Copies of this chain bind each other. A is one copy, B any other.
Amino acid sequence: MKAGAVELGEVSSKVVAQRRGMNRGASIVDFILRLVAFAGTLGSAIAMGTTDETLPFFTQFIRFKAEYNDLPTFTFFVVANSVVSVYLILSLLLSIYHIVRTGSRSSRVVLIFFDTAMLALVTAGASAASAIVYLAHKGNVRANWFAICQQFNSFCERISGSLIGSFIAMVVIILLILLSAVSISRR
């Protein structure tokens, strides 16, 4: 009977150790994914923030120049991506804490909440900018909005490309939230 109890104790401590190991693994994946998301948002912010194009012809009064901050939506995109990338760097500290202290749950709940808010922010920035990029490419006949990409070619390529990092970050943050939820449920 006593031997049975000791065996049971051994088995359960093995299970606990295994779970701890899995949670540590999950925390390391969390850390790496945060770096990926950070690279995505920072890349997007820089790519969009440094975009401008000056056309090679100009009249006496007007120089044809396109900058990202001609359109307020792109300014929002840069701000949103900057905020999220700063948050992601700060959240790395908590991620390291989770690698060390695998059992903590309340800090993971806090992380889920902020991750969710940041997901909303980066999604808002990316999709608002996409809507405008689509308009710049295609224009809209009914609203009489012209496709400015016909003039500003490299400007358009640059703003289209800068969306990619933001969308990658979006997918990665969804994975991060799922990972935190699984870790909490399996402490």
Contact = CB atoms under 8 A, between A and B. Distances in A.
Nearest to A124: B127
So how many copies of this chain end up in the complex?
2
Interface string A38-52: 000000000000000
B116 A178 contact: yes
Contacts of A106: 185
Given A113-B178, A123-B120, A144 B148 contact: yes
Interface residues of A, number: 44
Interface stretch (A6-14, A25-33, A67-75, A89-97): A67-75
Given A66-B142, A113-B181, A135-B145, 6 more contacts: A70-B142, A105-B185, A116-B116, A123-B127, A143-B146, A184-B184
